């Protein structure tokens, strides 16, 4: 069955460092991979989309890589700030427009 | 401002009752979706609709029903047949083929009392 894995353990890093979050998937051939940010009690907010034929996408302090051979995406936040603390969700989009979400990884950026 | 509105924010239901969650968008998006989120679990797709008057079951449709009579609206009814309805419900919309991802509402937290 299709499976999306994100590290369930919270990631704690110091302010100014680069945070790297991992998304692994199996039994899936996604056309797109998306990353969302979710704050407690709120709906997810779209951050970045990367296509299967793209290796890397950047937006301000964010960078996403997509390796369809390894079936893995890495999400980087450079120069992290306490305001970046949230849960980050990986989502895969195959045929049609449906998204399948991972369980998310909680990021805590400490002063 | 364009956006997607869910109401109510909190909802309490007695066992055996049906309840309807509202979702309205003014983004002119074609597609709309309902997800359920439980602690420690990812978002799970309940129903989705790509055009008016058409919708498809997602992964966990049992005990739920929807309608899509207008492009702007996609209400979700949680029926008494749903055995474990307490959860955080999220509505989303998107333009088909758009690279800007989904726009989510702020969610409705449903509690069975």
Q: What is the pLDDT of residue B1?
A: 62
* Residues B89/B75, Cβ–Cβ less than 8 Å: no
3-state SS class at B12: strand
pLDDT higher for B113 or A13?
A13
Q: How confident is the model at residue B79 (pLDDT cuts 50, 70, 90)?
A: very high
pLDDT higher for B64 or A9?
B64
> Which residues of A touch chain B, with CB atoms under 8 Å apart?
4, 8, 32, 34, 36, 41-47, 49, 89, 96-104
* Residues B30/B81, Cβ–Cβ less than 8 Å: no
Residue A3 has pLDDT above 90, yes or no: no
Of B39, B33, B97, which Cα lies nearest the Cα of B59? B33
Closest-CA distance of chain B to residue A105, Å: 10
pLDDT, one tens digit per residue, over A48-66 is 999 989 999 999 999 999 9
3-state SS class at A7: coil
Closest-CA distance of chain A to residue B46, Å: 11
pLDDT higher for B47 or B83?
B47
Q: Which of A44, A52, A100 to mutate to test the interface with B (most CBs of B within 10 A)?
A: A44
**Which residues of A fall within a CB distance of 8 Å from B6?**
43
What DSSP letter does each residue of B71-104 carry, written as one string? TTB--EEE-TT-S---EEEEEEEE-TT-TT--EE
Distance of CA B71 to the CA centre of its chain: 14
Q: What is the pLDDT of residue B42?
A: 87
* Residues B81/B73, Cβ–Cβ less than 8 Å: no
Q: What is the pLDDT of residue A109?
A: 98
Q: Judge: B31–A97 Cβ closer than 8 Å, yes or no.
A: yes
Average pLDDT on A31-49 reads: 95
User: What does the mean pLDDT of chain B come to?
Assistant: 93
**Which residues of A fall within a CB distance of 8 Å from B102?**
34, 36, 44, 46, 99
Q: Which residues contact B86 (CB under 8 A, 6 or more apart)?
A: B110, B111, B112
Rounded-to-integer distance, Cα B8 and Cα B23, Å: 9
Rounded-to-integer distance, Cα A88 and Cα A17, Å: 17
Average pLDDT on B72-100 reads: 91
B48, B100, B107 ranked by CB distance to A42: nearest: B107
**Which residues of B fall within a CB distance of 8 Å from A99?**
33, 45, 102
């Amino acid at each position: 069955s299709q499976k999306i894995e994100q590290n369930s353990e919270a990631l704690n890093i110091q302010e100014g460092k680069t945070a790297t979050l991992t998304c692994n998937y199996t039994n899936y051939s996604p056309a797109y991979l998306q990353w969302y940010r979710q704050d407690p009690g709120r709906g997810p907010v779209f951050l970045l989309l990367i296509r299967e034929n793209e290796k890397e996408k950047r937006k301000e302090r964010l960078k996403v890589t997509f390796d369809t051979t390894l079936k893995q995406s890495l999400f980087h936040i450079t120069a992290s700030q306490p305001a970046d603390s949230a849960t980050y969700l990986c989502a895969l989009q195959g045929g049609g427009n449906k998204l399948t979400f991972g369980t998310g990884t909680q990021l805590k950026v400490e002063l | 401002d364009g956006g997607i509105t869910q109401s109510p924010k909190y909802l309490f239901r007695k066992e055996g009752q049906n309840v309807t969650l509202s979702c309205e968008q003014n983004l002119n998006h074609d597609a709309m979706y309902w997800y359920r989120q439980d602690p420690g679990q990812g978002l799970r797709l309940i129903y989705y609709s790509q055009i008016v008057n058409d919708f498809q079951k997602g992964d966990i449709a049992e005990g739920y029903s929807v309608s899509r009579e207008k492009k702007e609206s996609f209400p979700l009814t949680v029926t008494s047949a749903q055995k474990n309805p307490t959860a955080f419900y999220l509505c989303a919309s998107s333009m088909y083929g758009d690279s800007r991802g989904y726009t989510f509402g702020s969610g409705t937290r449903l509690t069975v009392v």
